[in-house]
Amino acid sequence: MRERILSVDIFRGATILLMVLVNTPGTWSNVYAPFLHADWHGYTPTDLVFPFFLFIVGTSIVFSYQNREVGYDTYKKIIIRTLKLIGLGLFLGAFLIRFPFIKDWESIRFPGVLQRIGVVFFFASLLFINFKWKTLIGIAITLLILYWILMTLVPVDGVASTLERAPNNLANWLDVKVFGSHNYKPDYDPEGLLSTVPSIVSSLLGIFTGLILTSKQEKKATILMGIGGSFLIIGHVWDLVFPINKALWTSSFVLVTAGWANLILALIYYLTDVRKMEFGSIFRYAGANAIVVYFLSSFIAKVMGQIKVGDTSLHGWLFQTIYVHDTISMELSSLLYGLTVVAFYGLLAFVLYKKKIFIKV
């Protein structure tokens, strides 16, 4: 059995806990800028979180399916896991705490984070087990260039396409046509249909990193840093004509986020797997049950937001009662609430890990 690469577990766990942090501030009205998404073009540290997770999904695919016989059972497991992820995502989008415990059909959001993870996992897994790495590189490049062409050259309803949030943005237009009222917003969805195509490449780039980590190459950290730096340069150059944009998951966004992922993972790999330094255990615990931590944090946050306490929710009441004080800013209060939530799920992950409870989704 291949020895586990600790840096991958730490990276996955840190990503999922950061995802919890940025998703559960005390109040969305007062959040430090780095913990918010970019308004449209550009990116913040928060915009790195989701692509980091898709990236490490790709890396984990290598560990799961490399050098294993591929047959009916393999495809069956891939399909079952995909359906579980999509099902959990749809459940989160539809759940209400009051009878009949489900939203009106017209207000249920179809796309979502878990749905995208499921779809990306499905296609990235199938591509990995059926094609060699050189072919995968060609597929990744083709998809990124094709998406660029589609988003910038294909007219929408006879009008020249735009990359702004507008009716003649191809990705936005397609989401409205396909999903209608089932989008995140009336005019677009950040986990929309067309933008899922380049998000698959985010996972493919993680696969290439996984292949390097499991290879007999020496100085793997140096190689990953070189790749990461190259992705950053190419992505920022591409940004000049195809802006970095998370909502549209532009090709430049794919490269820039994969660049940062490689650089950070390379550093963690060097410190933990090469130098054998002991740190980041809490992240490793969270990484062992990453989807469970994300799902529970999203589900419980949703429940707390629906339980009424006076003229606010249980979430709002806890925040106002415990964290809001005249002596500290609202932004700091909001951050402290989020850090408390992260600490709770970090502790939960620790207990699950120590009890050897690993819930596979």
For the chain, give the mean pLDDT: 94
Q: Which residues lie closer than 8 Å to 145 by C-beta, 6 or more apart?
A: 251
**Helices 49-65 & 251-269 angle (0-180, nearest 10):** 70
Banded pLDDT at 3 (limits 50, 70, 90): low
Specify the pLDDT at position 36. Answer: 96
Specify the pLDDT at position 177. Answer: 92
Side-chain half-sphere CA neighbours of 194 within 13 A: 22
* pLDDT (mean) for 348-355: 95
Q: What is the pLDDT of residues 193-246, one digit of tens each?
A: 999 999 999 999 999 999 999 998 889 999 999 999 999 999 999 999 999 999
Residue 59 DSSP SS3 = helix
Residue 229 identity:
G
Q: Output DSSP code: residue 327.
A: T
Residue 247 DSSP SS3 = coil
Domain residue spans of the chain: 1-36+281-361, 59-275
Side-chain half-sphere CA neighbours of 349 within 13 A: 31
Q: pTM value?
A: 0.94
CA 85/CA 122 separation, integer angstroms: 10
| 1 has pLDDT over 70 | no
